[in-house]
Amino acid sequence: MPIDEVDTPALLLDLDAFEANLAALHDAVRGSGARVRPHAKSHKCAEIARRQIAAGAIGICCQKVSEAEAFIDAGIRDVTVTNEVVGAQKLRRLAHLARRARISVCVDDPANVAELSEAADRAGVVIDVLVEIDVGARRCGVPPGEAAVSLVRAVKAAPFLRFAGLHAYQGSAQHVRAVTERRQQAAFAADYAAVTRDALARYNIACETITGGGTGTYLFDAASRVYNELQPGSYIFMDADYRRNDWDDRAQFRQSLFVLTGVMSTSGAGHVVVDAGLKALAVDSGLPAVHGRAGLEYTKASDEHGVIGVADRAVRPRLGERLWLVPGHCDPTVNLYDHIVAYRADRVEAIWPVVARGALW
Amino acid sequence: MPIDEVDTPALLLDLDAFEANLAALHDAVRGSGARVRPHAKSHKCAEIARRQIAAGAIGICCQKVSEAEAFIDAGIRDVTVTNEVVGAQKLRRLAHLARRARISVCVDDPANVAELSEAADRAGVVIDVLVEIDVGARRCGVPPGEAAVSLVRAVKAAPFLRFAGLHAYQGSAQHVRAVTERRQQAAFAADYAAVTRDALARYNIACETITGGGTGTYLFDAASRVYNELQPGSYIFMDADYRRNDWDDRAQFRQSLFVLTGVMSTSGAGHVVVDAGLKALAVDSGLPAVHGRAGLEYTKASDEHGVIGVADRAVRPRLGERLWLVPGHCDPTVNLYDHIVAYRADRVEAIWPVVARGALW
């Protein structure tokens, strides 16, 4: 099917750019000693996970048990839940997944360690556990260094858990614009992880995995010699927010993700209206960019409408014309769609279900 | 099932508040001469549409053909698409719906009038058409007054369309905070509609329906004696943004919609982390409010996490404790969920599918 026949709004993936991004990531980190475990929260799509693994990834990351369930149902066999899982219902489901796949999960609380071990016992499994340390993002995680050691010892003492390493993700560093500042924040995160690893070594506790890093910092993380596992997510897609970062040439990825939208009203003066609004585009990290059309700016989103300002010098879009938008933030945008329309040049090659869309639990 | 057993995050509807809101709307507009056609873009839920109609609504509004399809499949028999529908694919689907239900749709362009009439012809139907006028929101719609008359005449000249009236919705007026200013903007909108109605009368064209109004302005619209059909959507739910409006006592609705979230990390100093972030809550109109807990503030949303700041004097939430959040904006929040959990007091009464979730086309 030609792209021209895809009805709007639609979520499009440029396969050439996507494949180039897959290859670029592995090329960039090759020889660093760091494995790649991409974050599937960005795409929620089993076909993309399979292609990431075929390109060299060792498995995937998820944030929610229900995401892990969707991917394991689709045949993925190695999943890290990069998040705390709290409460008996979720822990029972998580423990059952460990019968079907290699599962690891984060903890940052001794009470949670106890309930996790109990759930593993009931399911007849041993679960790999990463102790999450706060490396600067001030979200989840125990403080690095000695404070983390006691939680690691609690994990090691829990009969149905295996201590697998440290989760040291610095989410807010990813979007720091200037390269030098971003590198600095990544270095702080790596230092916090190294300090914790060294504190554990003093107790003769080996730290098999130190995992973290994202699309904004992965080159620094790979070069740190602290992280041995990287979990970038957005690199396959990119978005308008990540494009506002300054980039080293070598770290740059191509834009592969677009929202195709149709012009549904041209009766306004100075603007046209498109059919993709708040339910077709996440705007938490800013409004989308209009791709490849000078003088057009997406200026306002309402539930089902987007207002596109048309500069005086610009070519005014016609009724029914289609525009390509670069979403402000890829992850929550993908979560609005049931399907990704994968295309090459001007032809649709495949429709991929977003199997973990809406997987919140 | 007790609410305590609902896993988080979940979208909850307080049935007492919802039913009170249904009744309050009809009580408030009774005797005004205005019919109520609630906007189903807010809830996307067939069960809610049925209850709105049982409470006295004449039918529903939708924004997208795919929403109309979902509601007509669920048995709703009178749907206005309060939006322009552009392109052969969508128009073919719209025209086929007109075989199964009473359908009306907006236009603001003569070329669209022509393609709509052609689609109606092919489907063997006559479609009711509302001419959309721009009453101040500067989005879709032709200018009011004489400029609108020529488009109305084009509709009347189209063989398979029936001119049904004017669509005169002022979306941006709904969220104007001060009552006096909001009333003023509603009055401007009603004046624009009246001017257009009067211009049509000079050509002996009757204007059967003048539809518009929303949750923020419905009392003014009902009192205008211009609008004879009102299309509020959010009144059944309310949200943190609408609650920031000043309200006449009589116009106020109760908060019925909540996102139930669980505390998943308490290791940070001065904050806890909950399991509802950008994929569980729309933040376009601001962050959610924490319901009924003094000293707690939702300060930051990331994809799957919400950071809740805890004031010094506040009771610190425990790990696994559940908090009730009032979404910033109800419509795009509901669109993130497959189900609404309808409860009364502390018991779940029903789980209602969000049948038009993700209906973008």
Say whether both B228 and B331 belong to one domain. Answer: no
Say whether both B60 and B190 belong to one domain. Answer: yes
Residue with the bigger pLDDT between B67 and A250: it is B67
In chain B, DSSP assigns E strands to 10-14, 35-36, 60-62, 78-84, 102-107, 127-132, 161-167, 209-212, 229-230, 257-265, 271-274, 289-290, 296-301, 306-310, 322-326, 339-344, 347-353
Closest partner residue to B319 (CB to CB) among A111, A276, A337 is: A111
Q: Evaluate whether residue B247 is within a structural domain.
A: no
**B315-332 pLDDT, tens digit each:** 999 999 999 999 999 999
Q: Evaluate whether residue A132 is within a structural domain.
A: yes
Say whether both B192 and B43 belong to one domain. Answer: yes
Say whether both A111 and A35 belong to one domain. Answer: yes
Say whether both A233 and A257 belong to one domain. Answer: no
Q: Evaluate whether residue A38 is within a structural domain.
A: yes
d(CA B86, CA B90): 7
* CATH number of the domain bearing residue A77: 3.20.20.10
> In A, which residues are within 8 Å of B142 by CB distance?
267
Strand partners, B209: B165
**Does pLDDT of B347 surpass 80?**
yes
Query: Helix H segments across B256-344?
Result: 330-334
d(CA B260, CA B275): 9
CA A87 to chain B, closest CA, distance in angstroms equals 6
What is the domain range of residue B188?
16-237
DSSP letters for A181-248 = HHHHHHHHHHHHHHHHHHHHHHTT----EEEE--TTTHHHHHHTSS-SEE---GGGT--HHHHTS---
- The B residues from 98 to 117 touching A (CB cutoff 8 Å) are 108-109, 111-112
> E strand or H helix at A81, and its extent?
strand A78-84
Q: Evaluate whether residue B144 is within a structural domain.
A: yes
Using the 8-state DSSP alphabet, how is residue A174 labeled? G
**B168-197 pLDDT, tens digit each:** 999 999 999 999 999 999 999 999 999 999
Q: Please, what is the average pLDDT of chain B? A: 97
d(CA B194, CA B336): 38
Which structure tokens are listed for B198?
A: 């009067």
ipTM reported for the complex, 2 dp: 0.97
Instruction: Answer whether B236's CB lies under 8 Å from B256's CB.
Output: yes
CA distances from A249 to A179, A244, A252, A329 (A): 11, 14, 6, 22
Say whether both B222 and B260 belong to one domain. Answer: no
> In A, which residues are within 8 Å of B357 by CB distance?
358
Nearest Cα to Cα of residue A336 among B353, B238, B241, B333:
B333
Percent of chain A with pLDDT over 70: 99
DSSP letters for A232-257 = --GGGT--HHHHTS---GGG-----E
Dihedral sign for Cα atoms in the order B54, B57, B59, B65: negative
HSE, CB side, 13 Å, CA atoms: give it for residue B360: 28
**B265-285 pLDDT, tens digit each:** 999 999 999 999 999 999 999
**A131-170 pLDDT, tens digit each:** 999 999 999 999 999 989 999 999 999 999 999 999 999 9
d(CA A339, CA B332): 18
Nearest CA in chain A to B337: A358
Say whether both B223 and B281 belong to one domain. Answer: no
d(CA B96, CA A352): 28
Say whether both A216 and A262 belong to one domain. Answer: no
Q: Integer distance in angstroms from the first to the last C-alpha of chain A?
A: 36
Which structure tokens are listed for A246?
A: 């300054």
- Please compute the mean of the pLDDT values over residues A72-94 and round it to a whole number: 98
Instruction: Answer whether B29's CB lies under 8 Å from B332's CB.
Output: no
* CATH number of the domain bearing residue B304: 2.40.37.20
> In A, which residues are within 8 Å of B108 by CB distance?
265, 267
Q: Do B268 and A332 touch (CB under 8 A)?
A: no
- From B237, B262, B283, the end of a domain falls on B237
**Does pLDDT of B227 surpass 90?**
yes
CA A34 to chain B, closest CA, distance in angstroms equals 25
- From A210, A237, A264, the end of a domain falls on A237
The pLDDT confidence band at residue A251, using thresholds 50, 70 and 90, is low
Q: Evaluate whether residue A46 is within a structural domain.
A: yes
- Please compute the mean of the pLDDT values over residues B76-85 and round it to a whole number: 98
Calculate the dihedral angle through the C-alpha atoms of A123, A125, A126, A130, rounding to the nearest 10 degrees: -60
At A185 the pLDDT is: 97
Tell me, yes or no, if the pTM score tops 0.80: yes
Q: Please state the domain count of chain A.
A: 2
Q: Evaluate whether residue A358 is within a structural domain.
A: no
Which structure tokens are listed for A247?
A: 């980039």
**B122-144 pLDDT, tens digit each:** 999 999 999 999 999 999 999 99
At B248 the pLDDT is: 81
Say whether both A232 and A270 belong to one domain. Answer: no
Say whether both B314 and B202 belong to one domain. Answer: no
Say whether both A43 and A156 belong to one domain. Answer: yes
Q: Evaluate whether residue A247 is within a structural domain.
A: no
Q: Evaluate whether residue B242 is within a structural domain.
A: no
Q: Do B264 and A86 touch (CB under 8 A)?
A: yes
At B330 the pLDDT is: 98
Q: Does B140 touch chain A (CB under 8 A)?
A: yes
The pLDDT confidence band at residue A311, using thresholds 50, 70 and 90, is very high
- Please compute the mean of the pLDDT values over residues B159-167 and round it to a whole number: 98
Say whether both B264 and B169 belong to one domain. Answer: no
- Please compute the mean of the pLDDT values over residues B222-232 and round it to a whole number: 97
At B252 the pLDDT is: 81
